[in-house]
A and B are shown apart, each in its own frame.
Chain A
Amino acid sequence: GAVVSQHPSWVICKSGTSVKIECRSLDFQATTMFWYRQFPKQSLMLMATSNEGSKATYEQGVEKDKFLINHASLTLSTLTVTSAHPEDSSFYICSAAWGQGSNQPQHFGDGTRLSIL
Chain B
Amino acid sequence: SQQGEEDPQALSIQEGENATMNCSYKTSINNLQWYRQNSGRGLVHLILIRSNEREKHSGRLRVTLDTSKKSSSLLITASRAADTASYFCATRGNQFYFGTGTSLTVIP
Quick check: is B25 within 8 A (CB to CB) of the other chain? no
Which chain B residue lies CB-closest to A94?
B42
Q: In the bound complex, do residue A44 and residue B30 qualify as a contact, i.e. CB atoms below 8 Å apart?
A: no
Chain A residues closer than 8 Å to B81, beta-carbon distance: none
Chain B residues closer than 8 Å to A105, beta-carbon distance: 33, 45, 48
Residues of B within 8 A of A (CB-CB), count: 24
Q: In the bound complex, do residue A110 and residue B42 qualify as a contact, i.e. CB atoms below 8 Å apart?
A: yes
Chain A residues closer than 8 Å to B92, beta-carbon distance: 101-103
Q: In the complex where A6-B42, A44-B88 touch, is A102 in contact with B30 (Cβ < 8 A)? A: yes
Quick check: is B71 within 8 A (CB to CB) of the other chain? no
Interface residues of A in 90-116 (CB under 8 A from B): 91, 93, 95, 101-103, 105-111, 113
Give the complex CA separation of A4 and B98 in angstroms. Answer: 19
State how many angstroms separate the Cβ of A71 from the closest Cβ of chain B. Answer: 16
Q: In the bound complex, do residue A103 and residue B97 qualify as a contact, i.e. CB atoms below 8 Å apart?
A: no
Interface residues of A in 1-59 (CB under 8 A from B): 4, 6, 34, 36, 41-46, 49
Q: In the bound complex, do residue A43 and residue B101 qualify as a contact, i.e. CB atoms below 8 Å apart?
A: yes
Chain A residues in the interface with B (C-beta under 8 A)? 4, 6, 34, 36, 41-46, 49, 91, 93, 95, 101-103, 105-111, 113
Chain B residues in the interface with A (C-beta under 8 A)? 3, 30-31, 33, 35, 40-45, 48, 50, 88, 90, 92, 95-101, 103
